[in-house]
Structure 1
Amino acid sequence: MDELQLTQAADWIRDADGLLITAGAGIGIDSGLPDFRGPEGFWRAYPALRAEGLTFTEIANPAAFLRDPRLAWGFYGHRLNLYRATVPHEGFQILKRWGEACAQGAFVFTSNVDGQFQKAGFPPGQLAECHGSIQFLQCMGSCTESRWSASGFAPDVDAQAARLRSPLPRCPSCGGIARPNILMFEDYNWVGWRYDELVERARTWLRGLQRPVTIEIGAGTAIPTVRRFGERTTGPLIRINPDECAISRSNAVELRGGALDVLQRLDQMLGRR
């Protein structure tokens, strides 16, 4: 990353009439959230699941709730508590401020399920969470197409064993076990229609822009949903990533680094003019 790339990115942001912010897990690292990249990264965060011989794809799976719901909720309950306690880093406020300066505002498209954008003050109606949200629950058996807030669920988790100690959350309609309203691996019962509506709203919003700019932050290639959504836009694309940064496109820049550091440097540059 050099000054020319930063200058180009700042000029695009300054001229934009709308910002599309596409974000993967990498945006949360500066807030202290764990990076599950590869099995070793996952097991460092959850050593008890290494002892169980479980990978991320095996525990982040509806089958885990059928096989051992207290273990599955130990993993997701710990994550829910972690996300509730996490304070979004300054980069979220920088992005929010940039969006508010655009005539048509900003829209967020993210694969993150942690609710950090909402906590930072981004309007829910301008936020497409393509993999759902841990802040909501749904019936394990999908007895209805409903979701409900997880605010009344306070999981007590034995962190050493990665097991839920408190009562399992239940579906208010059928009394069956509830699960996070998240798109998991090999998931055929996800109640995702509300999220689909917001993704379509994002596409409609993009079609109304004259000078769109996409800022992609911390999105990897293992599950490229976020990358593909941003790459389909016609306006300039700014990719912020410490590792997987390359992009073959004339109206794009690669800003190699962590989310917070790069956003702060860009913000300083925008403030110079």
Structure 2
Amino acid sequence: MQPTDAIKLVRAWIAAARRIVVLTGAGISTDSGIPDFRGPQGVWTVNPAAEQQSTLQHYLADPQVRQAAWRSRLAHPAWQARPNRGHLALVELETRGKLHALITQNIDELHRLAGHAGERIIEVHGTMRRAMCWGCGQRTPMANVLDRVRAGEADPACRACGGILKSDTISFGQALVPAVIDRAMVAAAQADLLLAVGSTLQVYPVAGVVPVARQAGAHIVIINNQPTPMDPVADALLRGPIGEVLPAVCAAHAA
């Protein structure tokens, strides 16, 4: 199937769909200046040691890892990032009344900034815009903690209990929130069309939404620059820059 034919087919599925579920990964945010993790220029590809900062065991045990993590948070490109054409194309689906749920592996909150209703978004890996205490569980805006780092605290502790602070995201070795994953799977089972966008589809259990939607009878569309393990079950594969492909298939005039 030629790319233009695949785009026309997906447009037709979108026009007919009543409950579109979208799964997004890091690839949708790269056009906003946020590097992915496992791609050719990904954070962990370029600097494998950075993965320790996202591993709970290392983070809790080693103050030097935490200090490096706080320096990285200060310089993270997400603070200056803005939603790109890919994010805005998905808002178009919601405006048209097509979007049932938006499941995201991303922690940058660019979907919220793009204008999605909060109740549509399922953030399976949390958000970098909050900090949480590993000891007492208190949440606080990340910006407040970063101000303390800028003021000279290399490894700021919780002001309520003195515990270790971390980003309110799911680290390697940290349990996912069962209620959030359950919500994602229920949404996938209700889909008549699932768009998997910018995800390697290698991280479980969230990658499991694809076979769940497939079993429920949904069309599966994978939009990604690189092959994924789920490609064999897709009804359509769209390769190319997400910021170009998503607007081409999601715009209202395409219906």
Aligned-partner Cα distance in 2 for 1:205–1:272: 25
Residues 131 and 253 of structure 1: is their aligned pair in 2 closer, same or farther, counting only changes over 3 Å? same
Deviation at 1:221, TM superposition (A): 4.2
Aligned-partner Cα distance in 2 for 1:114–1:92: 12
Local SS of the residue matching 1:138: strand
- 1:74 maps to 71
- 1:89 maps to 84
Deviation at 1:237, TM superposition (A): 1.2
- 2:160 maps to 173
How is 1:196-235 mapped onto 2 (pairs within 5 angstroms)?
Answer: 196-206=178-188, 209=190, 212-233=192-213, 234=216, 235=218
Local SS of the residue matching 1:148: strand
Local SS of the residue matching 2:13: helix
Query: How many residue pairs end up in the alignment?
Result: 246
Kept in 1: contact 2:28–2:197 (CA 8 A): yes
Kept in 2: contact 1:109–1:129 (CA 8 A): yes
Deviation at 1:225, TM superposition (A): 4.3
Kept in 2: contact 1:170–1:177 (CA 8 A): yes
Local SS of the residue matching 2:226: coil
Deviation at 1:65, TM superposition (A): 4.8
Kept in 1: contact 2:21–2:187 (CA 8 A): no
TM norm structure 2: 0.83
- 1:248 maps to 232
Kept in 1: contact 2:128–2:169 (CA 8 A): yes
Tell me the alpha carbon deviations over residues 3-22 of structure 1, each in whole angstroms, 9 at most, x when there is no partner. Answer: 22111111111111122110
Q: List runs of 5+ in structure 1 lacking aligned partners.
A: 158-163
- 1:135 maps to 129
Deviation at 1:151, TM superposition (A): 3.7
Deviates more, 1:93-102 or 1:146-155: 146-155
Kept in 1: contact 2:148–2:156 (CA 8 A): no
- 1:257 maps to 240
- 2:103 maps to 109
Residues 272 and 97 of structure 1: is their aligned pair in 2 closer, same or farther, counting only changes over 3 Å? closer
Deviation at 1:219, TM superposition (A): 0.6
Higher helix share: 2
Deviation at 1:98, TM superposition (A): 1.1
Residues 64 and 39 of structure 1: is their aligned pair in 2 closer, same or farther, counting only changes over 3 Å? farther
Aligned-partner Cα distance in 2 for 1:91–1:8: 19
Aligned-partner Cα distance in 2 for 1:123–1:114: 16
Letter in structure 1 aligned against 2:126: G
Aligned-partner Cα distance in 2 for 1:59–1:178: 13
Letter in structure 2 aligned against 1:170: A
Aligned-partner Cα distance in 1 for 2:41–2:94: 36
TM norm structure 1: 0.78
Deviation at 1:25, TM superposition (A): 0.7
- 1:161 maps to none
Kept in 2: contact 1:217–1:259 (CA 8 A): yes
- 1:152 maps to 144
Identity among equivalent positions (%) equals: 21
RMSD (Å) for aligned C-alpha atoms: 2.8
Residues 213 and 39 of structure 1: is their aligned pair in 2 closer, same or farther, counting only changes over 3 Å? closer
Residues 122 and 40 of structure 1: is their aligned pair in 2 closer, same or farther, counting only changes over 3 Å? closer
Aligned-partner Cα distance in 1 for 2:163–2:54: 19
Local SS of the residue matching 1:108: strand
